Amino acid sequence: MGALRDQMDKDMVLRGMSPRTRESYLSAVRGLAKHYRKSPDTLTERDVQNYLLYLIEERKLAWSSCNIVVHGLKFFYHTTLRRDQMTFVIPRRRAPSRLPEMLSREEILALFDAAPLLKHRVLLMTAYAAGLRVSELVHLRITDIDPNRMMIRVEQGKGAKDRYTVLSEQLLAELRQYWKRERPAPWLFPATRNPQAPMHAKTAQKVFYHCKQRAGIAKRCGIHSLRHAFATHLLEGGTDIHRIQRLLGHGQVATTMRYFHLAQSSLMQTPSPLESLAARVAIRR
């Protein structure tokens, strides 16, 4: 599907989609073509629906993964092939959304200590210290670090928005040590085989999993959990929710409010209603 792939990618570029979204959508169409061993433009609506059924019942893919496939296929058929009449669906999500497993401060320190390379240690520290998404992390340039204003510039984050986030003194010291030893340029975390290209997001995720295993952390979480921990630990430390919103790059404060559910200090400070009965119980005795 070389020509179709190129056309679909051009259609997505024209609509301002991020590289990560484009790759996810292209992967969805590749999977469909590989399953039937046919060009996807020759498949029917029933073929596509049966493929989605296969992903759910036989591959046992998570609802979120199937949903990405649906969006990718819809874009291909509706936008690239202009077949607006084609419709296909997956069952609505039935399972309740789950809160991510939160890493404690001790576990995060253990994660850093488990990194076998300085580059990997600084990579994980930067993700946590600045609250970055993995795509933002691997696309940092040396020039994005601003030690004069103690800020990190995040260029074209989610939603194609630039923003600034905090640069801690401790992280700056680690970054300077890393730069003296590795001399990376222009990317802060370049790819190993091609230093002129940034590290791939999947590589950063693998680094996290490797260090998590070495640290003996059993919680189910990926590198994005460091961004969750950044926001939650700031909230527990008393940082204003609107400031956290700006640091994370959230368009709506409602998105940031979910971290109230993860902040243990705010939860644990909530008194049980039994406490309000304590005095009455004492009087009765």
Catalytic residue annotation: 133, 158, 224, 227, 250, 259
Scanning the structure block, which residue is given the tokens 């085989």? 193
Token digits for 45? 């609506």
Query: Can you name the residues that pair with 209 across neighbouring β-strands?
Result: none
Dihedral angle sign, alpha carbons of residues 48, 17, 137, 23: positive
Q: What would the 3-class secondary structure string for 204-234 be?
A: HHHHHHHHHHHCCCCCCCCCHHHHHHHHHHH
Contact in structure between 133 and 227 (CB atoms under 8 Å): yes
Helix axes 19-36, 63-74, angle to 10 degrees: 90
Cα 204 from Cα 285, distance rounded (Å): 61
Instruction: Give yes or no for a contact between 197 and 153, defined as CB atoms under 8 angstroms apart.
Output: no
Residue 152 pairs in a beta bridge with 145, 165
DSSP 197: S
Chain length of the chain: 285
CB-side exposure of 256: number of CA atoms within 13 Å? 21
Rounded (5°) CA angle 260-225-233? 45
